């Protein structure tokens, strides 16, 4: 499994050669950030799953910071954040909103945003602001809860998958 992952992930020499990352080389070239075993892979998947729900382009930065803090595989943590993309982000945010509603105990269903009316643009912006404030609390709480659930699930799924792969490799080796 390690060989398969290493084939697709960059090595630490790529980071060292990059002139933009060279000032951070002392922390980015730590051996544990590039070592790939079941513990670092599981931690990297958890960090990537958690940071994947960070809004905007800060997902990979968040995953890199988590990898630096927890000393898990850096490229894998950054790669895993790609599970959120233009096709999956809306369903994930809807699930997070519903989860946030469940946690906060709000009984109102999904509140649709106000319809855009070009004639009353100022009224529409006021209505959008109120709608965003109503949706913000359950969405924020739901995003954190969903990120934690996905991180825990990703961590244990990676551990189990790696273990199954090892057992299968042992059996193949034993049969040979």
Query: pLDDT tier at 123 (50, 70, 90 boundaries)?
Result: confident
Q: Does residue 94 register a pLDDT over 80? A: yes
Counting residues of the chain whose pLDDT is more than 90, the rounded percentage is: 48
Q: What is the pLDDT of residue 49?
A: 97
Contacts of 78 (CB under 8 A, 6+ apart): 48, 60, 63, 64, 67
To the question of pTM greater than 0.85 for the whole model, the response is: no
Q: Does residue 4 register a pLDDT over 90? A: no
Least trusted range by pLDDT, from 86-90, 119-123, 149-153? 119-123
H or E element, residue 104: helix 89-104
The whole-number average pLDDT for the span 143-171 is 95
Q: Does residue 92 register a pLDDT over 80? A: yes
Q: Does residue 54 register a pLDDT over 70? A: yes
Query: pLDDT tier at 151 (50, 70, 90 boundaries)?
Result: very high
Give CA–CA dist 162/166, Å, rounded.
6
CA nearest neighbour of 80 among 132, 164, 171, 151:
151
């Amino acid at each position: 499994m390690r060989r398969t992952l290493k084939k697709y992930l960059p090595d630490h020499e790529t980071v060292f050669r990059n002139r933009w990352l060279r000032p951070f080389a002392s922390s980015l070239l730590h051996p544990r950030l590039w070592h790939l075993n079941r513990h670092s892979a599981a931690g990297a998947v958890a960090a990537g799953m958690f940071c994947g729900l960070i809004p905007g382009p800060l997902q990979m930065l968040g995953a890199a910071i988590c990898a630096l803090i927890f000393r898990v595989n850096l490229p894998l943590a950054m790669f895993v954040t790609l599970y959120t993309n233009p096709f999956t982000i809306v369903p994930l945010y809807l699930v997070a909103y519903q989860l946030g509603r469940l946690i906060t105990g709000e009984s109102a269903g999904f509140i649709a945003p106000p319809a855009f009316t070009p004639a009353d643009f100022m009224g529409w912006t006021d209505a959008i602001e109120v709608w965003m404030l109503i949706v913000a609390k359950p969405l924020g709480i739901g995003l954190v809860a969903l990120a934690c659930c996905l991180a825990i699930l990703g961590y244990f799924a990676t551990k189990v998958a790696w273990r199954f792969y090892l057992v299968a490799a042992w059996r193949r080796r034993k049969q040979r």
